[in-house]
Amino acid sequence: KQRVLTGITTTGTPHLGNYVGAIRPAIEASKDDSNLSFYFLADYHALIKCGDPEMVHQSTKEIAATWLACGLDPEKVVFYRQSDVPEIPELCWLLTCLTAKGLMNRAHAYKAAVDENTEAGEDPDFGVNMGLYSYPILMAADILLFNANKVPVGRDQIQHIEMARDIAGRFNHHYSNKFVLPEAVVDDNVAVLQGLDGRKMSKSYGNTIPLFLPTKKLQKHINKIKTNLLEPGEAKDPDTSTVFQVWQAFATPEQVEEMRAKFQDGIGWGDAKKELCALVDAEIAPAREKYEELMGNPAVIEQALLEGAEKARSYATDLMKELRDAVGIRKII
Ligand code: TYM
């Protein structure tokens, strides 16, 4: 079976971007019996960006409930919390000792922080912790510990998967061929969803539409999507519109064409946003109900995660033993 693995960092409330870009396609892929799927909550990664314990804790609960509510079957998929698998940080150290510092100097997230500091006239490394710097190594450990073949991610994560390949290649060359070289899978049909301000929808930009808002609040958020100042009746350009882009992510091909025609005919923004809310709401309403139920019953979520961790470790411990042996960490006799 092809091993498919992906994770979400637990730094906030899951949003439409996570749903369209990661959760919905991952759940589809898990139904394919030629795949064995590993989906996890990246709570160690969360600590890099977030020093707020309550936020990390709450987010872990919300993201776990979201996966389950959206139809993930924990019997079929290996579904776990990163921090429940101690082999991940253990492998992370073995990989850290073999990763060139120069490779990490080139990682986007670190470079972006350095560039921002430099522009502001600060010390380049101001506010940069070692977690951010070696973030891609922890991600490599997530992937390599399970010998994942495919890692479905958004475009922003491709560099990290390439680094994981690089690190795996180095390990295989230096010690022994223990690791499968993972491949990033970026589905061109899956959009990078735009947020309220037209930039990529992202927790760090504060421009998200949370996934499970009650209908009225969902409408309120959708109403905040930035639009240009065209009057009702004026033709609108669908291809530069966030409202249309989100519509595309939820609509059938026929509905996309219908909305394209309405844009041409100059539908008012208020009306377009009402239709958008109804469309999104119709798709997520059943999952939202399950989500509310699970959030009121956290023991069910915890149980699923504990069972998932056990399963995950059953895949991880043998490889970890081999890896320790390969690097020379063995009993004396
Ligand atoms: P994170 O938590 O930033 O995002 C989780 C997933 O959601 C996708 N995504 C989006 N897709 C479409 N439109 C958007 N606006 C949007 N925003 C986010 C991301 O591409 C991603 O697939 N480092 C990872 C988590 C991680 C991981 C891993 C992933 C840790 N270890 C190992 C794969 C394999 C991250 O921060 O994703």
16, 18, 56, 192, best to mutate for ligand 1 pocket (most atoms within 8 Å of CB): 18
pLDDT at 331: 94
9 lines ligand 1 (CB under 6 A): yes
Look at residue 39 and tell me if it is in a domain: yes
The number of beta carbons lying within 10 Å of the beta carbon of residue 304 is 20
7 lines ligand 1 (CB under 6 A): yes
Q: Is 242 annotated as a binding residue?
A: no
Q: Is 200 annotated as a binding residue?
A: yes
5, 8, 20, 147, best to mutate for ligand 1 pocket (most atoms within 8 Å of CB): 8
Same domain for 26 and 65? yes
How far, in Å, from the CA of 110 to the mean position of ligand 1? 16
What pLDDT band is residue 154 in, cutting at 50, 70 and 90? confident
pLDDT at 177: 85
Cα torsion through 298, 299, 300, 301, rounded to 10: 50
Same domain for 61 and 170? yes
What pLDDT band is residue 50 in, cutting at 50, 70 and 90? confident
Same domain for 31 and 49? yes
Same domain for 21 and 39? yes
pLDDT at 232: 73
38 contact partners, CB below 8 Å, separation of at least 6:
3, 4, 5, 6, 77, 78, 80, 146, 148, 312, 315
pLDDT at 234: 86
How far, in Å, from the CA of 299 to the mean position of ligand 1? 26
- 176-233, pLDDT tens digit by residue? 888 999 999 987 777 789 999 999 999 889 999 999 999 999 999 999 999 987 777 8
Same domain for 48 and 157? yes
Look at residue 112 and tell me if it is in a domain: no
Q: Is 0.80 topped by the overall pTM?
A: yes
Q: Is 142 annotated as a binding residue?
A: yes
Residue 83 has pLDDT above 90, yes or no: yes
Q: Is 18 annotated as a binding residue?
A: yes
Same domain for 178 and 44? yes
Residue nearest to atom 20 of ligand 1 (CA): 154
21 lines ligand 1 (CB under 6 A): yes
Same domain for 275 and 303? no
Residue 155 has pLDDT above 90, yes or no: no
CA atoms within 13 Å, Cβ hemisphere of 187 = 17
Kindly report which listed range (69-73, 224-228, 230-234, 318-322) carries the lowest average pLDDT score: 230-234
Give the number of domains in the chain: 2
- 226-265, pLDDT tens digit by residue? 998 777 788 899 999 999 999 999 999 999 999 999 999 9
Q: What is the number of residues in the chain?
A: 333
Q: Is 198 annotated as a binding residue?
A: no
Task: Kindly provide the ipTM of the predicted complex, given to two decimals.
Answer: 0.98
Task: Identify the CATH number of the domain in which residue 34 sits.
Answer: 3.40.50.620
Look at residue 35 and tell me if it is in a domain: yes
Mean pLDDT rounded to a whole number for the chain:
95
pLDDT at 230: 72
Same domain for 286 and 181? no
Task: Identify the CATH number of the domain in which residue 223 sits.
Answer: 1.10.240.10
Same domain for 91 and 41? yes
Same domain for 277 and 303? no
308 lines ligand 1 (CB under 6 A): no
179 contact partners, CB below 8 Å, separation of at least 6:
144, 147, 168, 171, 172
Look at residue 237 and tell me if it is in a domain: yes
pLDDT at 233: 81
Same domain for 258 and 216? yes
Residue 325 has pLDDT above 90, yes or no: yes
* Domain that includes residue 147, residue range: 2-99+134-192+298-327
Per-residue pLDDT averaged across 63-77, rounded? 97
Same domain for 64 and 177? yes
Look at residue 17 and tell me if it is in a domain: yes
Residue 287 has pLDDT above 90, yes or no: yes
- 296-316, pLDDT tens digit by residue? 999 999 999 999 999 999 999
